[in-house]
A and B are shown apart, each in its own frame.
Chain A
Amino acid sequence: MNVLSLLGRNLRHGPYTEPFPFGPAPTAERFRGRVVFDATTCEGCKICERVCPAGAIKFSKTKDGLAFALWHNSCVFCGNCEFHCPTGSVHQTTDWHLAHAQARKYALVELGLLPNQICSACGATALATAPSLRGVTPPLSPEETVTLKSMCPKCRAKFLKARRAKP
């Protein structure tokens, strides 16, 4: 008789169906959907490429800088990249509207570019990435960060060595 009371309850309550294809669908706040990439905060450490189980993320060196590419058709939405990213540049949104026609298959890519720049100290070409030297004591001042950002890795190392040597 449990079945009958269940049927009666269903009839009284009416359909439980979401209006989805004809209306909005509720999405959980922490839903792991489409991955977005923010090139301005990325350091180029490539840890996301290393931890991606599906091999969806690829960094490639181009003459303009370091290019980031993530193919949503390969991504398994595991969230490893977001978890391991030291600067929070890789982020999963709640967007799940990824169904697409075959013609758009290879266009469904998240792209980003970490541009090259000329080092302000030695003039060599290097990536313009923001340093995140959290363990440095005393902490970097904003002016020092800007200076460091305009340098190549070798000049940065020299700068930090000089800073440590200071009394």
Chain B
Amino acid sequence: MLLARNLKQIAARSPWLYRINSGSCNGCDVELATTACIPRYDVERLGCQYCGSPRHADIVLITGPLNRRVKNAVLRLWEEIPDPKVTVAVGVCPISGGIFRESYAVCAPVDQYLPIDVNVPGCPPRPQAIIEGVAQAIEIWRTRL
């Protein structure tokens, strides 16, 4: 029991990130890329790593207001991610629709369809805010392991 709990504590130090762009303007995606690619922010310190495949993901970062066209693809992609996982909404678009709210082409907020755990508002949020959100997501993920 104790060993399993210790192992879980260790496992929580390796959250792999996966980005889903659900029709974002790419502002938030650029900020996500800076957290990994710009030495100043370096999200790899937390053990995070952006992975290319949904099967490898632990923390899902959703950007964009969930366009009607992309909705089914996003939901399917989210189902492909093995449990346990934590979902983070990055930017105001997935949280509330932001500037696109009440548009006929947009299904925001995303939490109507997916269980969101952490919200990081901003348009786009600054890289530090994203790292803060990821840190909160790691805390939630630790409890789910």
Contacts and interface: CB of A to CB of B under 8 A. Distances in A.
Contacts of A15: 39, 42
Contacts, number: 94
Contacts of B132: 21, 97, 99
A72 B95 CA distance: 10
B91 to A, nearest CB: 9
B46 A73 contact: no
Interface stretch (B49-57, B74-82, B114-122): B114-122
Interface SS majority for chain A? loop
Interface residues of A, number: 29
Contacts of B101: 54-55, 74
Contacts of B41: 17-18, 20
B15 interface: no
Nearest to B102: A55
A53 interface: yes
B128 A25 contact: yes
The 8 A-B pairs at the shortest CB distance, nearest first, are namely A76-B123, A99-B133, A16-B39, A74-B96, A99-B120, A17-B42, A99-B132, A25-B128
